[in-house]
C-alpha cells in the first residue's frame, strides 16, 4: 500500500541537517516517508515519531521491524526500538505534548541530553486517511461522517453537523474553509438535518449540493476541510505545539514546518518570526512543477525552517 507520498522530502532532510548522534522528532509520522529518511541518516542517535492515528503507529511499527529494529520497551503509548546504536520511538499521542513525549523517551533511555536537534511537522491528513472511507474524510467515497484522526476523541463531524447552531457552523465553514457560501451551506445543513440526521459523507454532500448555486465547481472540499480542522482542534494543537517547540528544541537545533493552509502558516510565522529566539533558514519554499505533477497534494505546501539561536 502507498500510504502517503512525502512532500519536499529531500529539502526537509537537508534543512534538518541530520547528524549521527542527534535526537530528531517527526511530529506527524504518518506513512513514515520523512521518518525513514531521517532514520537512514542516523547510525547512533534517536528518532521519535508521533501520530494521533493508531494506524500510522502500526504502519511504522511494522516498517521498523522489517528494517531489523528490535522492540525493547513499551510504556503507556510509547514504543521503543533499537538497531545497533540507533534508537527509534513511536508515540501514539498529539504533537501538542511534544515536550512531554521527548522527556519521557529520553528518560526511559537514560539520556543526559534531553533536547531535540531537529523537529518536523507535516501538517494535515495523509493520503491513506483520505482514501480510507471508514475514516470519513472523503467526499469522493461514502463512509461514516467521522473525521476523527484520533479515535479516542469524543466528538465526530456528524456530532458537529447535527448538533451545532447555524451561526457556529457558518463561522467554522468561513474561518477554516474560507467558504464563500458558508451562510447558505450552514442553512442547508440545518434544513437537511431536520428531515433526518446527517450521518454519512454522502449525506453531507447532498446537503451541500442543495445549498449552493449550480455553477459552483468542487463544492465539497472547503466544507470537508473546515469540519476536519474543527473536529481535530487543529489550530489549537498548532498553537500549543509552537510553544512545545520552544522547550523541546536544543540551541542551534532546527524545526521544519510543512503547512497547507494560510491559518497554519500565520500561527507559525507569528510565533517564529516575531519571537527573536529563532532565525529563518532561507525563504519559504514550495514544491516545483515536477513534484506537483507527480503529487497533487504538494501543490499548496509551504515549507519554512527555523533555527533556534537563543534560549
Assess 160 for contact with ligand SAM (CB under 6 A): no
Exactly one of 31, 143, 188, 203 binds ligand SAM (CB under 6 A); that residue is 31
Stretch that binds ligand SAM, among 15-23, 49-57, 187-195, 243-251 (CB under 6 A): 49-57
Exactly one of 45, 118, 124, 219 binds ligand SAM (CB under 6 A); that residue is 124
* CB 193 to ligand SAM: min, Å: 28
Q: Which residues contact 202 (CB under 8 A, 6 or more apart)?
A: 142
The cell numbers describing 36, all together, are 525513514
Which residues are paired to 49 by β-bridges?
A: 26, 90
Angle CA 99–244–282, to nearest 5: 120
Cα–Cα distance, 46 to 21 (Å, whole number): 7
Assess 95 for contact with ligand SAM (CB under 6 A): yes
The cell numbers describing 230, all together, are 474543527
- CB nearer to ligand SAM: pick between 8 and 189: 8
Assess 291 for contact with ligand SAM (CB under 6 A): no
Please, how many CA atoms are within 13 Å of residue 189, restricted to the half-sphere of its CB?
Answer: 33
Draw the binding track, 2-21, toward ligand SAM (x: CB under 6 A; -: no contact).
Answer: --x-x---------------
Exactly one of 89, 149, 157, 164 binds ligand SAM (CB under 6 A); that residue is 149
Going by C-alpha positions, the residue among 50, 95, 54, 47 that lies closest to residue 69 is 47
CA dihedral 276, 282, 285, 290 (to 10 degrees): -160
Stretch that binds ligand SAM, among 119-127, 178-186, 248-256, 279-287 (CB under 6 A): 119-127
- CB nearer to ligand SAM: pick between 98 and 190: 98
Stretch that binds ligand SAM, among 31-39, 100-108, 168-176, 271-279 (CB under 6 A): 31-39
Going by C-alpha positions, the residue among 51, 123, 62, 116 that lies closest to residue 90 is 51
- CB nearer to ligand SAM: pick between 96 and 222: 96
Assess 94 for contact with ligand SAM (CB under 6 A): yes
Q: What are phi and psi of 92, to 5 degrees?
A: -85, 90
Strand (E) positions, 29-98? 46-51, 70-75, 78-83, 86-92
The cell numbers describing 293, all together, are 505533477
Assess 33 for contact with ligand SAM (CB under 6 A): yes
- CB nearer to ligand SAM: pick between 22 and 30: 30
Cα–Cα distance, 50 to 78 (Å, whole number): 9
Distances (CA, A) of 44 to 20, 38, 114: 6, 12, 15
Assess 53 for contact with ligand SAM (CB under 6 A): yes
- CB nearer to ligand SAM: pick between 97 and 181: 97
Applying CB under 6 A, which residues contact ligand SAM? 4, 6, 28, 30-34, 50-53, 56, 94-95, 122, 124-126, 149, 237
Amino acid at each position: 500500500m502507498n500510504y502517503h507520498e512525502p512532500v519536499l522530502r529531500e529539502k526537509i532532510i537537508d534543512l534538518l541537517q541530520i547528524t549521527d548522534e542527534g535526537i530528531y522528532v517527526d511530529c506527524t509520522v504518518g506513512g513514515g516517508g520523512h521518518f525513514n529518511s531521517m532514520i537512514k541518516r542516523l547510525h547512533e542517535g534517536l528518532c521519535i515519531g508521533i501520530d494521533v492515528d493508531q494506524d500510522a503507529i502500526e504502519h511504522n511499527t511494522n516498517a521498523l521491524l522489517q528494517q531489523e529494529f528490535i522492540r525493547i520497551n513499551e510504556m503507556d503509548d510509547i514504543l521503543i526500538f533499537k538497531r545497533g546504536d540507533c534508537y527509534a520511538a513511536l508515540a501514539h499521542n498529539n504533537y501538542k505534548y511534544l515536550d512531554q513525549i521527548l522527556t519521557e523517551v529520553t528518560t526511559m533511555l537514560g539520556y543526559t541530553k534531553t533536547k531535540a536537534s531537529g523537529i518536523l511537522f507535516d501538517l494535515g491528513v495523509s493520503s491513506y486517511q483520505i482514501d480510507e472511507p471508514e475514516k470519513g474524510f472523503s467526499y469522493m467515497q461514502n463512509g461514516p461522517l467521522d473525521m476523527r484522526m484520533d479515535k479516542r476523541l469524543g466528538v465526530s463531524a456528524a456530532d458537529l453537523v447535527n448538533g451545532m447552531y447555524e451561526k457556529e457552523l457558518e463561522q467554522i465553514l468561513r474561518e477554516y474553509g474560507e467558504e464563500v457560501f458558508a451562510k447558505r451551506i450552514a442553512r442547508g445543513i440545518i434544513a437537511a438535518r431536520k428531515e433526518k440526521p446527517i450521518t454519512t459523507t454522502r449525506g453531507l454532500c447532498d446537503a451541500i449540493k442543495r445549498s449552493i448555486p449550480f455553477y459552483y465547481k468542487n463544492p465539497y472540499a472547503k466544507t470537508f476541510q473546515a469540519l476536519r480542522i474543527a473536529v481535530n482542534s487543529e489550530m489549537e494543537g498548532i498553537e500549543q505545539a509552537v510553544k512545545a517547540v520552544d522547550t523541546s528544541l536544543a540551541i542551534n537545533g532546527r524545526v521544519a514546518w510543512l503547512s497547507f493552509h494560510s491559518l497554519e502558516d500565520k500561527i507559525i510565522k507569528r510565533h517564529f518570526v516575531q519571537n527573536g529566539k529563532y532565525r529563518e533558514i532561507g525563504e519559504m519554499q514550495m514544491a516545483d512543477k515536477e513534484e506537483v505533477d507527480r503529487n497533487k497534494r504538494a501543490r499548496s505546501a509551504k515549507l519554512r525552517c527555523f533555527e533556534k539561536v537563543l534560549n
